[in-house]
């Protein structure tokens, strides 16, 4: 049975960080379905690619990660929203939480925790899709 991988969209303005994130996310068995460096592009592309998970930085080339979080609040089919940022203080975490972030990870401390979360979701997706369904 063909299992569709977990679909992850990355919103990160640093190309070096994007490359690192892409490689690490793909090492979990997930598929990176897109990447944006600015908020408006991300909001548009997330709607087109319909990812399961979005990993978004707060600091972007245009706009910020809060703009992306806010735009996802009213979406009927909203992906899980994980913030990965250098801004790890309470005001940033609190604002992200109010805007619907499902997780907040500091780049310098929580990268392993983020990847563990993505890997667990990818693994659960694989198990759910590969379990046989009962015939009635």
Q: Which two tokens stand for residue 81?
A: 């929203």
At residue 88, the pLDDT reads: 87
**Which domains are assigned to the chain?**
7-74 (3.40.50.2300)
Name the DSSP class of 3: -
Would you say 9 and 34 are in contact if contact means Cβ atoms under 8 Å apart? yes
Residue with tokens 């907040």: 104
Q: Angle between the 65-73 and 90-98 helix axes, to the nearest 10 degrees?
A: 20
Collapsed DSSP state (helix, strand, coil) of residue 62: strand
Would you say 54 and 46 are in contact if contact means Cβ atoms under 8 Å apart? yes
At residue 4, the pLDDT reads: 86
What whole-number percentage of the chain has pLDDT above 90? 79
Q: pLDDT tens, position by position, for the chain (136 residues)?
A: 557 899 999 999 999 999 999 999 999 999 999 999 999 999 999 999 999 999 999 999 999 999 999 999 988 889 999 999 999 899 999 999 999 999 999 999 998 999 999 999 988 876 654 444 444 3
At residue 74, the pLDDT reads: 86
Hey, how many other C-beta atoms are within 10 angstroms of the C-beta on 67? 19
Which residues lie closer than 8 Å to 63 by C-beta, 6 or more apart? 38, 39, 40
Helix (H) or strand (E) holding 105: strand 103-106
Model pTM? 0.89
């Amino acid at each position: 049975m063909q299992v569709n991988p977990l679909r992850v969209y990355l919103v990160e303005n640093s190309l070096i960080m994007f490359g690192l994130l892409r490689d690490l996310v793909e090492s979990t068995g997930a598929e990176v379905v897109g990447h944006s460096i600015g908020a408006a592009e991300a909001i548009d592309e997330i709607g087109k690619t319909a990812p399961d998970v979005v990993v978004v930085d707060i600091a972007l080339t245009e706009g910020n990660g809060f703009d992306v979080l806010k735009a996802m609040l009213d979406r009927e089919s909203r992906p899980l929203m994980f913030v990965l940022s250098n801004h790890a203080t309470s005001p940033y975490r609190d604002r992200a939480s109010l805007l619907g972030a499902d997780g907040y990870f500091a780049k310098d401390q929580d990268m392993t925790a983020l990847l563990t979360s993505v890997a667990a979701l990818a693994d659960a997706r694989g198990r759910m899709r590969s379990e046989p369904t009962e015939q009635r």
